């Protein structure tokens, strides 16, 4: 079987593909987030031992926190592919992933603060997970700042990709250093994650919501990458031949 | 191969000796920041003793970061950086020479001035010794990691503030364990071995990977 691995690595073939995928991604994202949140809000036990209705914020919280980490891995993956194969589309993907990743990190922090205020009586605590999520936000912001500070596209892409890789090496070390700075005091306020101990309905709602967040992320990332393609390739013949570009003139 | 290293190291040191204010600026920045804290938070001995490890390390972070902008900037401006990249020497080795010179000029003075901080914050001789040792191991890591940021932001508008965005989050592990060791020695704990092992581990990791990443970043920034 002869698979053309690089067929969609060209912006001219990826642009229409992304365009065809976006409506499906949007529809399924709305569907999954709707079902997940409905299930979470109305079909799960209303009172866990010591927590009340406010625990339901975990559905968006967990989904956003997972996406914030997953999107950084995606970002690093595209940066790596871009540096190795010098494909334009991978840098564009990396650039498009960053804002959504930063937003997801921000959502996770804000919803976590609401959880913390109601559950632990404080908006913020310097707990390992919260601290490393905050630092992840700083890393996303650094990536976007470097990308937008350099006018030369080629240099901006590659410099930001190197920064993303350096961040990928350092983030685990940071996580582990804030996790247990003192070998004798490994206490954490944040719950350990463990799916086994949680009610099955809650797990289903969480997974469905997370899938919905994932679909939303890629819908918005594909839309952003289409804009980036149009902007960067605006002088090429295939972009000028696009009906949406021609129609505007 | 090492002749390239020593030649570049000597050249950078001689250049710095011709313009000593650059070294002194970093040093006095550190001293001023450290001296501002007692004025801001109050001069009670107990409070000062408690905040000393964090203050000294954060001041060291900021001082070494401020000095980074000039690491490659002058060579980039007069074109000698491109000549260095064109030489047959491995770029990572030349980067290592420049970072070593940079640390000797901006990191080592901080280590040597640390006893002054010890006096200002009433921490005692033993803790001051630990403070100097952590700075001695930790500041080279700061210079090495910072070099990546300096190379990535080479010649950009507002490069200095951008470096801080990129690099300060990456300094966190050194900050945590450096100040952690000082705090531990202040609490009278003898278990400093783990902290120093980790600081040395960061140093080795940074020595292996940072020059290489900096070399890649320099090639991207100058092409």
- What tens digit of pLDDT does each residue of A73-123 get? 999 999 999 999 888 889 999 999 999 999 999 999 999 888 888 777 788
For B167, the closest chain A residue by CA position comes to A142
Q: Can you give the pLDDT at residue B195?
A: 86
Domain-located, residue A196: no
Rounded to the nearest angstrom, the minimum Cα separation between B147 and chain A is 12
Q: Which residues lie closer than 8 Å to A143 by C-beta, 6 or more apart?
A: A75, A98, A160, A163, A164, A167
Cα(A47)–Cα(B217) distance, rounded to whole angstroms?
Answer: 54
Residue with tokens 């970043």: B217
Chain A residues closer than 8 Å to B173 by CB: 170, 173-174, 177
Cα-trace Rg, chain A? 21
When CB atoms are compared, the residue of B152, B157, B184 closest to A162 is B152
pTM of the shown model:
0.86
Provide the number of structural domains found in chain B. 1
Cα(B223)–Cα(B208) distance, rounded to whole angstroms?
Answer: 24
Chain B residues closer than 8 Å to A155 by CB: 220-221, 223
Q: What is the span of the domain harbouring residue A152?
A: 22-183+211-248
What are the helix (H) ranges across B87-192?
A: 91-102, 108-120, 125-152, 159-167, 172-186
Interface probe for A, chosen from B134, B150, B176, B204 (most Cβ of A below 10 Å), is B176
User: ipTM score of the complex?
Assistant: 0.85
Chain B residues closer than 8 Å to A138 by CB: 165, 168-169
Which of the residues in chain B have pLDDT under 70? 189-190
Subunit contact B170:A167, Cβ cutoff 8 A? yes
Domain-located, residue A51: yes
| Helix axes of A200-232 and A88-119: crossing angle, nearest 10 degrees | 140
Chain A residues closer than 8 Å to B153 by CB: 146, 149
Task: Answer whether residue A124 shows pLDDT above 70.
Answer: yes
Residues A91, A78 contacting (CB under 8 angstroms): yes
Q: Confirm or reject contact between B213 and chain A (CB < 8 A).
A: yes
Domain-located, residue A9: no
Domain-located, residue A62: yes
Subunit contact B152:A183, Cβ cutoff 8 A? no
Q: Which residues lie closer than 8 Å to A207 by C-beta, 6 or more apart?
A: A36
Task: Answer whether residue A54 shows pLDDT above 80.
Answer: no
Nearest by Cα to A165 from A85, A72, A86: A72
Task: Answer whether residue A55 shows pLDDT above 80.
Answer: no
Subunit contact B220:A158, Cβ cutoff 8 A? yes
Q: Which residues lie closer than 8 Å to B97 by C-beta, 6 or more apart?
A: B4, B5, B6, B8, B9, B12
Task: Answer whether residue A48 shows pLDDT above 60.
Answer: no
Q: Confirm or reject contact between A48 and chain B (CB < 8 A).
A: no
Chain B residues closer than 8 Å to A183 by CB: 191, 194
Task: Answer whether residue A229 shows pLDDT above 60.
Answer: yes
Provide the number of structural domains found in chain A. 1
Subunit contact A181:B176, Cβ cutoff 8 A? yes
Torsion of Cα atoms, A176 then A182 then A187 then A189, to 10°: -60
Q: Can you give the pLDDT at residue B217?
A: 92
Which pLDDT tens digit goes with each residue over A211-222? 999 999 999 999
Q: Confirm or reject contact between B158 and chain A (CB < 8 A).
A: yes
> Which range (A129-138, A194-203, B28-37, B113-122) has the least confidence?
A194-203
Task: Answer whether residue A184 shows pLDDT above 50.
Answer: no
Domain-located, residue A143: yes
Q: What is the span of the domain harbouring residue B7?
A: 2-222
Q: Confirm or reject contact between A146 and chain B (CB < 8 A).
A: yes
Cα(A230)–Cα(A166) distance, rounded to whole angstroms?
Answer: 29
Subunit contact A135:B172, Cβ cutoff 8 A? yes
Q: Confirm or reject contact between A156 and chain B (CB < 8 A).
A: no
Give the mean model confidence (pLDDT) for residues A162-174: 85
Q: Can you give the pLDDT at residue A52?
A: 64
Task: Answer whether residue A194 shows pLDDT above 80.
Answer: no
Q: Confirm or reject contact between A168 and chain B (CB < 8 A).
A: no
């Amino acid at each position: 079987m002869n698979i053309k691995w690089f067929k969609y690595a060209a912006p001219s073939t990826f642009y229409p593909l992304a365009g065809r995928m976006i409506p499906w991604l949007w529809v399924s994202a709305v569907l999954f987030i709707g079902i997940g949140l409905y299930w979470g809000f109305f079909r799960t036990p209303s009172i866990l031992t010591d927590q009340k209705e406010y625990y339901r914020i975990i559905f968006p919280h967990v989904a956003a926190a997972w996406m914030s980490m997953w999107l950084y891995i995606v970002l690093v993956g595209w940066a790596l592919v871009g540096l190795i194969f010098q494909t334009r589309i991978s840098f564009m993907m990396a650039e498009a992933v960053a804002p959504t990743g930063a937003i997801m990190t921000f959502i996770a922090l804000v919803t976590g603060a609401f959880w913390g205020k109601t559950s632990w009586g404080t908006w913020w605590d310097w707990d390992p997970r919260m601290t490393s999520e905050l630092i992840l936000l700083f890393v996303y912001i650094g990536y976007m700042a470097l990308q937008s500070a350099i006018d030369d596209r080629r240099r901006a892409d590659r410099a930001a990709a190197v920064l993303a890789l350096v961040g990928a090496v350092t983030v685990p070390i940071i996580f582990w250093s804030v996790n247990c700075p003192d070998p004798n005091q490994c206490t954490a306020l944040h719950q350990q994650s463990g799916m086994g101990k949680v009610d099955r309905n809650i797990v289903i709602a969480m997974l469905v919501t997370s899938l919905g967040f994932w679909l939303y992320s890629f819908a918005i990332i594909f839309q952003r990458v289409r804009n980036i393609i149009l902007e960067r390739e605006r002088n090429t013949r295939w972009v000028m031949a696009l009906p949406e570009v021609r129609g505007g003139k | 191969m090492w002749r390239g290293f020593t030649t570049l190291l000597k050249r950078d040191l001689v250049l710095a000796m011709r313009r000593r204010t650059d070294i002194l600026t970093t040093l006095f920045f550190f001293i001023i920041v450290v001296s501002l804290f007692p004025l801001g938070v109050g001069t009670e001995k107990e409070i000062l003793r408690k905040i000393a490890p964090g203050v000294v390390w954060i001041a060291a972070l900021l001082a070494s970061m401020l000095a980074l902008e000039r690491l490659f900037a002058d060579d980039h401006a007069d074109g000698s950086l491109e000549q260095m990249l064109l030489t047959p020497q491995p770029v990572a080795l030349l980067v290592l020479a420049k970072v070593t010179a940079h640390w000797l000029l901006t990191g080592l003075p901080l280590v040597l001035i640390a006893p002054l901080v010890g006096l200002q914050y009433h921490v005692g001789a033993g803790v001051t010794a630990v403070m100097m040792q952590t700075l001695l191991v930790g500041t080279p890591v700061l210079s090495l990691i910072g070099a990546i940021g300096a190379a990535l932001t080479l010649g950009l508008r507002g490069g200095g503030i951008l470096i801080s965005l990129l690099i300060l989050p990456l300094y966190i592990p050194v900050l945590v364990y450096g100040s952690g060791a000082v705090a531990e020695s202040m609490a009278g704990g003898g278990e400093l071995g783990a902290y120093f092992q980790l600081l040395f581990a960061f140093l080795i990791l940074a020595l292996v990977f940072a020059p290489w990443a900096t070399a890649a970043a320099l090639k991207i920034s100058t092409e």
